[in-house]
Chains A and B, each alone.
Chain A
Amino acid sequence: MADRAGNDIERLIDLMAKLPGLGPRSARRAVLQMIKKRQLLLNPIQQAMANVSATVRECTICGNVGTTDPCNLCQSPDRQTGQICVVADVVDVWAMERSGVFKGRYHVLGGLLSALDNIGPEELRIPRLVQRVADEQITEVILALNATIDGQTTAHYIADQLERSDVTISSLAQGVPIGGELDYLDDGTISAAMKARKSF
């Protein structure tokens, strides 16, 4: 019996160690902490995970994850602003929502185009985006994609796909981050910031 309990704990540690940011050692510490605080941590976590597992689903409209389909963001009438913010992943929706600066709706692509990883337009939700732009009276598509080769390649591809639709296509600015010191910036960021300079 004691052996079985030990195996279960080891299995939990092994599973926790697969999470990003956790290695075997930190997973072991996390599990030990949960065991020590069974009422405060272990049981509520177990309950919360069971709930999420039972209810989580991908929104068929935007690709965000939530407990309803359509998700809360797509259901909200306040967000029917005619703007769609296109992001690569759900984590980007969360980042944008943390900032509280965008009040429209989102479209999660589910990745970026990558020739080397064989990710083409069919693997992403680009056709669905084109359809949404046509169906939802969209006036502006904001491309909030990574400032990387793959991110910008994807942005240009989407712009091409939306060329015939009557929408404004914009993208996030690139340059010096808040709190950034020039001395610590890479030359590419400085170059992009110089190109995107504005009157002061």
Chain B
Amino acid sequence: MDWRDEGVLLSVRKHGEGSAILEILTEHHGRHAGVVRGGGSRRMAPILQPGAQLSVEWRARLEDHIGSFTIDPVKSRAAAIMSDRAALAAMGAVAALLTVGLAEREAHRALYQRTIDLLDSLGETPDWPSRYALWELALLTDVGYGLDFSECAATGATQDLIYVSPKSGRAVSRDGGADWADRLLPLPRFLRLDSAEEDMAEVRAALQTTGHFLENWFMPTLGKQVPAARVRLVSALGKQS
């Protein structure tokens, strides 16, 4: 068995003295693990940092074996974000959520492309925090917890949708949610329109909403808690204006 693909490095674990087990989110083969001979060496350490874009060849005798990777670095992303605590936390949150949240060997091409776009924007474009919130929304959709912002859950209205129901994950309009606004989650405009946004107050509101569904819908089914890196990200973004 063998294939070639490209992907984002999610995690590296030492295996024996000199090898490492890598988990990579590939475009066509999903989250996939494999052993890299010599992957635990110091020479490979700069290349094997989470977030790195790698060209990989996977080989195994049988398909259900863990197999081994031969890797070729395409792009390093770690150095660009090391001095930016929020971007670093975002990278950690992306890697942790994908590692715990995606089934192995199941392709998620749309999410893969969004992940690449997000990681390339970290620390590079000022609107990356909003792209991160949109990425979480895409992750929830891909794993079966998609939110529905098409119309108001209470009135059926398609205009002035400013809330999300924490129970159904559906949008609620200003009029429809007037009586219980304090119990509804915010629906920032950019989240509904799937467009980037630089207003940090809007981004924080979006992360409150996606965070609710990560914490109460997605993570409990995995028996996990929201990754610490996401908590750090929210904290770091809370200090930005």
Contact = CB atoms under 8 A, between A and B. Distances in A.
Given A115-B229, A149-B78, A153-B88, 7 more contacts: A116-B11, A149-B91, A149-B92, A156-B85, A186-B73, A187-B75, A191-B80
B79 A188 contact: yes
Interface of B: 11, 13, 17, 45-47, 49-51, 73, 75-76, 78-80, 82-83, 85, 88-89, 91-92, 95-96, 99, 227-229, 232, 235-236
B82 A120 contact: no
Interface in A152-171: 152-153, 156-157, 159-160
Interface string A168-192: 0000001000000000001111011
A188 B96 CA distance: 22
Interface of A: 20-21, 23, 113, 115-116, 120, 147-149, 152-153, 156-157, 159-160, 174, 186-189, 191-192, 195
B88 A152 contact: yes
A115 B79 CA distance: 19
A167 B17 CA distance: 40
B17 A113 contact: no
Contact of A21 (B17, B80, B85): B17
Q: From DSSP, what is the main secondary structure of chain A's interface residues? A: helix
A192 B79 contact: yes
Contact of B227 (A115, A148, A189, A191): A115
Contacts of A187: 73, 75-76, 79
B46 A157 contact: no
A115 B227 CA distance: 7
A111 B93 CA distance: 20
Nearest to A116: B11
Q: Which of A116, A148, A174 has the most CB of B within 10 A?
A: A116
